Amino acid sequence: MLRPRPEMANEAVGVYARLSAVAATLGIVCRGGFVLEPGEELPEVDAGRPSRTLVLLGFGAMQWSAFAASAEFADGQPHPLDRWSVRVIGQLGTLFGARPLYPFGGPPWWPFQSWAQRAEVLHSSPLRILMHPRFGLWHAYRGALLFAGEFALPPRMSWPSPCESCATKPCIASCPAGAVTPNGFDRAACAAHVASPQGIACRSGCLSRGTCPVAVSHRYSTEQATFHMQQLSLACSHKEP
């Protein structure tokens, strides 16, 4: 059983490596981080302990099995992935004496996309999903942890945007709703098409996303892709399951 070790947050050497190892046992992955700039205002870790370092936590194909085996996935209640994320990241925060923040449940709505680009070198894509050098389009951010101390973080490694050199751009041509364009992603059009009789093929996974040739080994399973499309449709319609 994992036991809280508050002293971990005060050990500057190897914090990120230990955090990554424990996160993996809980079904979540560390996705880089950054030290806050002077004057940058984020919540205190707790009373009298200002935040100094932020670490992002992500989710993808490799983490799906942990969520799919969870009580939240099976209980039939709304927002299972959000509730699982709160439990898992909250536990991780307790273990390391850190404060969790989430990209849902606002206000406030934290700028996770901006934070992600400070933590890692990511590129925009026509689907408006940030392109990751390892995971491609097959990833998401489920939360972040604020720490009172500073510690070493993985360096940001430059890499070229695969979308800029992609001549055919199959993600645009393959969207049956016309929601993916060079100028942006029309989320409402996507959701409307998925909910329509013509959108049945999209309900088991985004057809546009599935044509991307980057990081194909990290593509979501049909079960995971179907789940995410269902959650997108619910979010757009503001209906509960």
Q: Which DSSP string do the residues of the chain spell out, in sequence order?
A: -----GGGGG--TTHHHHHHHHHHHHT-EEEEEEEPPTT-----SBTTB---EEEEEEEEGGGHHHHHTSHHHHS--S-HHHHHHHHHHHHHHHHHT-EEE-SSS-SS---HHHHHHHHS--B--TTSPPBBTTTBT-EEEEEEEEESS----PPP-----TTTT-SS-HHHHT-TTS-EETTEE-HHHHHHHHHSGGGGGGGGS-HHHHT--TTGGGPPPHHHHHHHHHHHHHHHHT---
Reported as a single tens digit per residue, the pLDDT across 188-220 is 899 889 989 999 999 999 999 999 999 999 999
Note the pLDDT of residue 21.
96
Q: How many domains does the chain have?
A: 2
Same domain flag for 32 and 123: yes
Taking residues 137-150, report their average pLDDT.
Answer: 97
Average pLDDT across the chain, whole number: 91
Q: Does 152 reside within a domain?
A: no
Note the pLDDT of residue 187.
87
Q: Does 164 reside within a domain?
A: no
Same domain flag for 38 and 140: yes
Same domain flag for 69 and 184: no
Q: Which domain holds residue 209?
A: 170-237
